Amino acid sequence: MNTQNIPQNWQQTLPAEWTIKNAREDGREEEIPLREHPTLKNYTSKDEAVKALVHAQRLLGKTPEGYIRVPEGQGDDEQRNTLYSALGRPDHPEGYTLPDIDLPDGYEMQEDMINGFKNAAFRLGLTAEQVAGLYQWFLPLVIDTHHTMQAETNQLRERELESLRAVHRGRTPHMLDSALRAAEALGGKELIHALDSTRAGDHAAVINAFAKVAPLVLESGMRSPGQGWGEELSREKLREMMQDPRYHDPNKRDPEYVKTVRKGFETLYPGDYIPGSRL
């Protein structure tokens, strides 16, 4: 029997024109003859290779044991929850344990914010380790940012106050009181809250503006309803006002002036008041 024409291996029996793409070591693909593909060297015969191919075809479309398919879209919540649980997400948001972090004096974490953080992490499928790490990184960052903003606010307030002192000198406290009472008279607590929350009330230009209009809106410095009277309202001041003819002289009595004096008594002595009984 002549063995010179028998191929050395069964791969050589495959037609040379059968080609297939193969990845090289540098990652690029090249077209090579199928019979030279390195995978075929794992099989000792053509029959063994064909059996392996048939077996692989039978496995297509089946889910291997322990395999979890990644859900597509937003519809399959059950499959997504299964995946998140397999990755390490707790069974419920309360299952997250946050690390203890020393907070500066005056700081505390609100329960609603903590619960919101855990609920958001649960919806995103984060693991317990991921949530703990994120919290440990984010919270100190928030505190540092708040410290920086507070320091900048204090510096602004002090800088603006110094500019007021340079102009008004010893009358600065009186000017500040007048500006506060004017703001209360014009807009009440809502305006004061707006000035505080926006930090507009820290600016010297805003304070000066309210101080300038104070004489026009405070009716001789006593218009503010029960707030902001400051140093101008006292028992001695009210006694002095009662000596004015507009108050005690029936022929010169001014109802608006009398009303102002009554408001002063109501401010100093809240509750039932009988004019003249407390001086």
Give, for all 279 residues of the chain, the pLDDT tens digit: 444 554 458 888 888 888 988 888 887 888 889 888 888 888 888 888 888 777 777 666 555 555 556 666 565 677 788 888 888 899 999 999 999 888 887 778 889 989 999 999 999 889 999 999 999 998 888 888 888 888 888 888 889 889 888 888 888 888 888 888 888 888 888 998 899 888 898 899 999 899 888 888 765 444 444 444 444 566 667 777 888 888 878 888 888 888 887 777 666 555 444 444 433
Q: Look up the domain containing 14 and give its range.
A: 10-46
Domain count, the chain: 2
Could you count the other beta carbons within 10 Å of the beta carbon of residue 150?
10
Helix-helix angle 204-217:172-198, to 10 degrees: 110
Identify whether 210 is part of a domain.
Answer: no
Identify whether 189 is part of a domain.
Answer: no
Identify whether 206 is part of a domain.
Answer: no
Identify whether 152 is part of a domain.
Answer: no
Identify whether 137 is part of a domain.
Answer: no
Residues whose CB is less than 8 angstroms from the CB of residue 210 and which lie 6 or more positions away in sequence, other chains included: 178, 179, 180, 182, 183, 186
Kindly report whether the global pTM for this prediction surpasses the value 0.75: no
Residues paired with residue 89 on neighbouring β-strands, in sequence order: none
User: How far is residue 115's CA from residue 131's CA, in Å, rounded to a whole number?
Assistant: 13
